Amino acid sequence: MGYPFNVSIHLNNLTLTYDLHPVVYHLTATIAQGEWLAIVGPNGAGKSTLLNAMAGLLAINEGSIEGLCPGTVTYLPQQTRLDKSFPMTVCELVATGLWPKLRATKSVSRQELERCDEAIAAVGLQGFERRLINTLSGGQLQRCLFARVLVQDQPVILLDEPFSAIDAQTLADLTQIIKQWHQAGQTVIMVTHDMDYVRENCPQTLLLARECVGYGPTKEVLTEGNLRRAGQRSAAFDESARWCRVGMV
């Protein structure tokens, strides 16, 4: 399956702030269609902030993000942002992926329900359809959320720390699914802390430490020098900082 339209993503001089302090600082990059990009960096580097901005959850302070529009993006938030106590079954959670298509009033067709069942089976949760989500383990819930991404079937997939606190088998299975998305021409952008995983799987890497330390093929970006530079960049805000004049004439 290929995606016929071009959804290259352009980050143009992008600055994202909290309390006026830059969390992502004048970032420029172009993410080509079909890339599998890992966004890595130390804590406080602005990785999740960047992903939130790409998902449309965060206002852009300066610069722009081009190429992303509603209806082309699937966003998988961190599990901790989910209310697992809500009385909902696995099938119902996966079916929420149909929301962008069905909206408030369209009824769910038999084909769409079958799509949900197929997605649940594809992530290895067959037999869990009627289970309440509050009975699932962390790994099972993550499989469930991947099934929702499958149901959405969008050209751009944003994953925020998709592999935190899951076992090796789940990691292998979900990686296989990401590889299928990558082969199908979908753009996958994931935030992760696992450098070994990135070196092994992700062709492209953006190393972030509030500003871009390196962007390109993973082998060229994850060098000792770059990682040292990223580690040295302080995540703390400079309370005596002057107003930014980058780009001003």
Partner 1 sequence: MDRLLLDPFTEYAFMQRALIGSLAVCLGAVPTGVFMTLRRMSLTGDAMAHAILPGAAIAYLISGLSLVGLSLGGLAAGFVVALLAGWVARSTHSKEDSSLASFCLISLALGVLVISLKHRNVDLFHVLFGNILALDDAALWLLASISSISMLIMACLFRPLVIECVDPHFLRSTGRASSIAHFGFLFLMVINLVAGFHALGTLMAIGIMILPAAAARFWAKTLDATLIVAVLMSFGGCYLGLLLSFHFDLPTGPTIVLAFGGVYIVSVLLGLNGGLLEQRYPKRHLAG
Binding interface with partner 1 (CB under 8 A): 52, 55-57, 70, 73, 75-77, 81-83, 86-89, 92-93, 96, 99-100, 102-105, 132-133, 158
Q: Report the distance separating Cα 48 and Cα 189, nearest Å.
A: 11
Q: Are 131 and 91 in contact (CB under 8 A)?
A: no
Supply the minimum distance, in Å, between the C-beta of residue 186 and partner 1: 16
Supply the minimum distance, in Å, between the C-beta of residue 37 and partner 1: 18
Q: Which is nearer to partner 1, 140 or 205 (CB)?
A: 140
Tell me how many degrees the CA angle 194-200-205 measures, rounded to the nearest 5.
Answer: 65
Q: Which is nearer to partner 1, 12 or 89 (CB)?
A: 89
Q: Which is nearer to partner 1, 20 or 246 (CB)?
A: 20
Supply the minimum distance, in Å, between the C-beta of residue 67 and partner 1: 16
Supply the minimum distance, in Å, between the C-beta of residue 200 and partner 1: 28
Q: Are 142 and 79 in contact (CB under 8 A)?
A: yes
Q: Which is nearer to partner 1, 103 or 110 (CB)?
A: 103
Supply the minimum distance, in Å, between the C-beta of residue 207 and partner 1: 25
Quote the tokens at residue 138: 């962390």
Of 89, 78, 70, 38, give the one whose Cα is nearest residue 195.
38
Q: Which is nearer to partner 1, 93 or 190 (CB)?
A: 93
Q: Which is nearer to partner 1, 33 or 89 (CB)?
A: 89
Q: Report the distance separating Cα 143 and Cα 7, nearest Å.
A: 26
* DSSP string covering 183-203: HTT-EEEEE-S-HHHHHHH-S
Supply the minimum distance, in Å, between the C-beta of residue 97 and partner 1: 9
Supply the minimum distance, in Å, between the C-beta of residue 48 and partner 1: 11
Cα separation of the two ends of the chain: 47
Quote the tokens at residue 161: 């720390």
Q: Report the distance separating Cα 86 and Cα 208, nearest Å.
A: 35
Q: Report the distance separating Cα 170 and Cα 85, nearest Å.
A: 22
Residues 6 or more apart in contact with residue 4 via CB below 8 angstroms: none
Q: Which is nearer to partner 1, 6 or 85 (CB)?
A: 85
